[in-house]
Structure 1
Amino acid sequence: MSRTAIFEHRGAAREYEGTLRIDIKTMQAVIGRSGVGQLMSHWPAEIYDISDVMRTGGEPEAIGKAWITRSGRAVMYTINGTRYLSPLSQVKGVLQGTRKYAGVSVITEAPLTPASSSCHAEGVPA
């Protein structure tokens, strides 16, 4: 049996006045200026709901975290328990001003699929 991850495009991450704004179909979130610095230094950064930032006068409660993956090729976000991902090269391009946005995809796991029979020798138990 093998598991496969499925990536579905759900939104975009854009730079806005030094912050990283994450626009997902269902909400808008933001990583603050200091959080962007932390993230690019390979430290986890907190994510906030934009409406909470405005409503609480700048003292919102975090709704998730962002970090650079161990492979160093992607930025992983957890927002309200859902996992999202953006290619790190795209996020860096956004922050440097060479890209308009970085794609944000949701990660879902496909149902278990049986491994192909060619992987196992005939008559040998797995």
Structure 2
Amino acid sequence: MELGLTFPLQRFLHQKPPPYGGESDRRFCWDLHIIALRGRKYLLAVHCHSRYTFVRFDVPGLRWADPPALFRTGLSDSLTATGFAPAQINTYLQVAGEVRITRTHGAAGGSVSQSGMGGCAGAGHLSGLL
């Protein structure tokens, strides 16, 4: 699975630009962005195939040190809230494979362009996700 980091998130994490991704199946590509609302940092994740979006809010400072773990927790919470069974979520994560940090996946894949608001609220379409 590829997690594409936006430039603002790269700067916030003090990371150099990661390599371009090579995943051809957009069902296993997500773009991650950081947004600030009312003085707090939030993780915005957008599924590149379906544009399903979730926001992880009130992220403690130390959680930002491991973006893949932060993402996985947010994804699991969001999909659970929308009615997916834990077995379905685990199957998706297993099929998606090892997490690789990359650059964002561009507009053709539906990169960060849509937002959902709330704890791990989701927005977008789930049909292409699992």
Please, what TM-score do these two structures have when normalized by structure 1?
Answer: 0.32
Q: Which structure has more RCO (C-alpha within 8 Å, separation ≥ 6)?
A: 2
Structure with the higher fraction of residues in strand conformation: 1
Structure with the higher fraction of residues in helix conformation: 2
- Please tell me whether Structure 1 or Structure 2 has the larger radius of gyration of its CA atoms: 1
Please, what TM-score do these two structures have when normalized by structure 2?
Answer: 0.31
